[in-house]
Amino acid sequence: MSKKVLIISSSPRKGGNSETLADEFARGVIESGNYVEKICLHGKKISFCIGCFACLDAHRCVIHDDADSIAQRMLISDVLVFATPVYYYSVSGQLKTMLDRANPLYGSDYAFRDIYLLATAAEDEANTFEGTEKAVQGWIDCFEKAKLSGKIFAGGVNKIGEIKNHPALLEAYEMGKKI
């Protein structure tokens, strides 16, 4: 049975390294016979959460922008994939804002069980990815039926295109094929 996989690419740069990593993951998912939808946050209108918590009753956000419709796509997806550049040892601001705005999913009958994290960074130190993983894991921990099922970190890439020939691309493709 094929799965619905939603990839949320949070790179502010069209064609950025984390988006390229997401595309390779998607290629593997498609080749394994699953359905992929990729949403790029660049160019989307996503306001900050205002902390009103009205979403917990309505299961929809009171702010009607792109985040509201993206959260609704997350709700019905079997698999979520977050692709992000690492900024100051954490997720991009775009992804953090989207995760905050996905609050209507808390307490809902969400479909996703498996969540994957793809990240790129200019730095290549072992600890560069730790804060990014912790930020996403903190969100996942609020969803008892979901788990972090895989993660890939591509360090040492900064300018657009520097990820070309990085071993993480093959790793992302192979991980996508296993969905």
Nearest to 171 by CA among 159, 146, 157, 154: 154
The amino acid occupying position 145 is K
For residue 26, what pLDDT is reported? 98
pLDDT for residue 126: 81
Say if CB 95 and CB 131 are below 8 A apart.
no
Q: What is the pLDDT of residue 64?
A: 94
* Strand order through the sheet with 147-155: 35-40, 4-9, 79-85, 114-121, 147-155
167 pLDDT higher than 90: yes
Spell out the domains of the chain, with CATH numbers in brackets: 4-177 (3.40.50.360)
- Please tell me the distance from the alpha carbon of residue 64 to that of residue 17, in angstroms, as a whole number: 30
pLDDT, average across residues 44-62: 94
> How high is the mean pLDDT of the chain?
97
Task: Please give the model's pTM, rounded to 2 decimal places.
Answer: 0.97
- The C-alpha atoms of residue 24 and residue 20 are separated, in whole angstroms, by 6
What pLDDT was estimated at residue 89? 95
Q: Residue 60: which pLDDT band, with cuts at 50, 70 and 90?
A: very high
Pairing type for strands 79-85 and 4-9 reads parallel
* Strands annotated E in the chain: 4-9, 35-40, 79-85, 114-121, 147-155
Question: What digits encode the pLDDT tens for the residues 91-146?
Answer: 999 999 999 999 999 999 999 999 999 999 999 998 999 999 999 999 999 999 99
Alpha helix (H) residue ranges in 32-160: 55-58, 66-76, 93-101, 130-140
Share of the chain above pLDDT 90, in %: 97
Statement: residue 1 has pLDDT above 90? no
